[in-house]
Amino acid sequence: MRPRVVVTKDIGKEPLARLAKHAEVVLLPPEWTAVELIHHLQTSEALLCNVTDTIDKALLRACPGLRMISNYGVGINHIDIACAREQQIIVTNTPGVLTEATADLTWALLLDVSRRVSEGDRLVREGKWAGWEPLFMLGREVSGKCLGIIGMGRIGQAVAQRAKGFRMPVIYHSRRRLPEEREKELGAQYVDLEQCLSEADYVSIHCPYTPETYHLIGAFELERMKPTAFLVNTARGPIVDETALIKALKDGRIAGAALDVYEDEPYVPMELRQLEQVVLAPHLGSATEETRLAMADMAVNHLIAYFQGETPPNVVC
């Protein structure tokens, strides 16, 4: 009997066709419910899920036959890993393949908020542009300014590498300090969190979302930033206290923010949407054709390895 795998979202025809050669594939409809997912998982041994799916204890315990979860994405905070481990369910993710795309988007957001590109785009589209003026829509130069990175993993390092082109000094704070040789390669200096916040002209967040990093950036941390500084977040929404950020922006405590992620996606507070000094993207970090295909291929490869009796790569539990 062929193994059965439930796929929560369409990840592309070619990856799904390749997966179908090794298992029966059940692709859920776009608006599926937890009840539907549990119904299908009760007769399936594998799941290919996304970072927006909630794979909690109640779901896992309702599906005792589930043996493998292939996560399409790096973050795994939406999966109850402790329960998966307890039930001896293999969980994999897709690290590495989205590094360059997310680093590119970080710079797109940083440049956008600094030079007021989206704000200007809205002005032009609304027919409110009256022509060039010497003091019209002045932004801030990026070149030569200090970049502060919080979380110096793969993506943080890729962002730091790009800073060289803008002749920017880089300071960073991370759970683990990089080897001295790597710091020299990147031109990066390790500092504590408070110094990173207080000295940087641009603070870019790249740490993983864990219980320890929940609201890592709150009112106290925002108070440490320069009033001329910008906050960029392409990591996870709950790392930043959204309420505190809105207040800091309204009070002019910081100059602006560029966000790709939010506390309660896809909900974005109206107060945040109404602020002109904020650039808002709809979670586009890995959204390139090349990266999403690579993520799909990796997630499918993990399942194929499992179906063939091998240990899949990138096992997180």
- In tens, the pLDDT along 239-285 reads 999 999 999 999 999 999 999 999 999 999 999 999 999 999 999 99
Instruction: Put the strands of the sheet holding 46-50 in their side by side order.
Output: 24-27, 4-7, 46-50, 68-72, 90-92
- From the list 24, 119, 183, 265, the catalytic residue is 265
Task: Give pTM, 2 decimals.
Answer: 0.94
At which residue do the structure tokens 């795309």 appear?
Answer: 101
Q: What is the pLDDT of residues 157-207, one digit of tens each?
A: 999 999 999 999 999 999 999 999 999 999 999 999 999 999 999 999 999
Question: Is 206 designated active site?
Answer: no
Residues 78-112: pLDDT tens digits?
999 999 999 999 999 999 999 999 999 999 999 99
Which one is catalytic: 4, 67, 78, 283? 283
Catalytic site includes residue 283: yes
CB 240 within 8 A of CB 205: yes
Which H or E element spans position 280? strand 278-280
Q: Backbone phi, then psi, for 2, in 5-degree steps?
A: -70, 140
pLDDT by residue (tens digit) across 23-51? 999 999 999 999 999 999 999 999 999 99
Does residue 40 have an active-site annotation? no
Using omega within 30 degrees of 0 as the cis cutoff, is the peptide bond preceding 266 cis? yes
Tell me how far apart the alpha carbons of residues 194 and 86 are, in angstroms, rounded to a whole number. 38
Give the helix/strand (H/E) hosting 13: helix 13-20
pLDDT in tens, 57-80: 999 999 999 999 999 999 999 999
Q: Would you tell me how many other CB atoms lie within 10 Å of the CB of residue 248?
A: 22
- Catalytic residue, chosen from 236, 242, 263, 302, is 236
Q: What is the pLDDT of residue 1?
A: 83
